[in-house]
């Protein structure tokens, strides 16, 4: 109780172990030439995972090639995703009973973890008016008395802060910092919070630790985590610790 271990897997990938349960979020495990950070765990060697979570249906968040393999090598694992992507996940060979589509405001328990979904705006909320489903999600993950906010890909939107605060104190945040600009818009690369926006969100939420993400993978969609850390230190140094992650470095948090 009160202890949790995390490993950053690059981009927004995160592995979390607590109690007797291990979950893996947004792990982009397929090797590609244009990646600056190659996957630290070979896709066919990742075993013993209780749940794979994807925040939205982009390759670096729901890696369908990898999910097809994990559906076989981790046959008892749950796969958690926005309900908007159910057909795509089932096409990966995930068994019906293991495919858990959720939406904003919904929760699911897996082993020692409880996972809550919050809508993400990447870069818009894009709620389907017919189904009410949001295609992009964030997760609040609770285990052993600790709360982690995995923001997926999002910009800040009206009401998002109140949703986060409704869960009580958040201990750890993983936030995208790569931002958005005209060049990316013109090549249909939708954006996230800038490093300043992410730091200010952390400042208002008040976690013990904030981890910058989505800065390492692609040269043309990146940011400098040191700028994030410096801005955070300038404004919130007395309250929040920044942890610039290294791939597969063990981060142990004790409350």
Q: Which CATH number fits domain 3-247: 3.60.15.10, 3.10.440.10, 3.30.365.10, 1.10.150.120?
A: 3.60.15.10
Which letter does DSSP use for residue 96 in this model? G
Cβ atoms of 99 and 79 within 8 Å: the answer is yes
Model pLDDT for residues 96-109, shown as the tens digit of each residue: 999 999 999 999 99
Backbone angles phi, psi at 147, to 5 degrees: -120, 135
Cβ atoms of 15 and 112 within 8 Å: the answer is no
* Domain-wise residue ranges, the chain: 3-247
Residue 97 CB contacts under 8 Å (≥ 6 apart), including other chains: none
Q: Which two tokens stand for residue 16?
A: 């979390």
pLDDT at 237 over 90: no
Backbone angles phi, psi at 68, to 5 degrees: -60, -40
Radius of gyration over alpha carbons of the chain, in Å?
17
Query: What CA–CA distance (Å, rounded) separates 75 from 52?
Result: 11
* Count of Cβ atoms closer than 10 Å to residue 183 Cβ: 10
Query: Span 239-251, mean pLDDT?
Result: 96
Strands 209-213 and 250-254 come out as unpaired
Residues in the chain: 255
* Count of Cβ atoms closer than 10 Å to residue 157 Cβ: 14
Cβ atoms of 15 and 22 within 8 Å: the answer is yes
Query: What CA–CA distance (Å, rounded) separates 160 from 154?
Result: 10
Rounded percentage of the chain residues whose pLDDT exceeds 70 = 100
pLDDT of residue 210: 98
Query: Span 152-162, mean pLDDT?
Result: 98
pLDDT of residue 82: 98
pLDDT of residue 238: 85
pLDDT of residue 255: 87
Query: What CA–CA distance (Å, rounded) separates 8 from 247?
Result: 5
What's the pTM value of the predicted model, to 2 decimals? Answer: 0.97
Comparing C-alpha atoms, which of 21, 10, 13 is closest to residue 146?
21
């Amino acid at each position: 109780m009160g202890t949790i271990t995390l490993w950053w897997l690059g981009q927004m990938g995160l592995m979390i172990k607590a109690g007797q349960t291990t979950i893996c979020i947004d792990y982009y495990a397929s090797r590609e030439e244009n990646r600056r950070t190659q996957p630290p765990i070979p896709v066919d060697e990742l075993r013993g995972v209780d749940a794979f979570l994807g925040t939205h249906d982009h390759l670096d968040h729901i890696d369908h090639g990898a999910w097809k393999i994990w559906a076989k090598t981790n046959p008892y694992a749950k796969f958690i995703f926005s309900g908007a992507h159910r057909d795509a996940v089932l096409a990966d060979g995930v068994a019906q009973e293991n495919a858990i589509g959720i939406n904003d405001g919904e929760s699911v328990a897996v082993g020692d973890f409880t996972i809550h979904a919050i809508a993400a705006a990447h870069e818009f909320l894009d709620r389907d008016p017919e189904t009410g489903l949001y295609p992009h999600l964030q997760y609040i993950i609770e285990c052993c008395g600790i709360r982690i906010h995995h923001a997926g890909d999002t910009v800040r939107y009206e009401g998002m802060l109140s949703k986060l605060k409704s869960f009580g104190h958040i201990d750890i945040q993983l936030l995208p910092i790569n931002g958005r600009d005209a060049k990316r818009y013109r090549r249909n690369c939708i954006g996230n919070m800038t490093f300043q926006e992410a730091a200010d969100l952390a400042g208002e939420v008040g976690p013990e630790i904030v981890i910058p993400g989505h800065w390492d993978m692609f040269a043309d969609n990146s940011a400098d985590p040191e700028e994030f850390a410096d801005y955070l230190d300038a404004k919130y140094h007395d309250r929040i610790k920044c942890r610039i992650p290294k791939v597969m470095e063990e981060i142990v948090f004790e409350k």
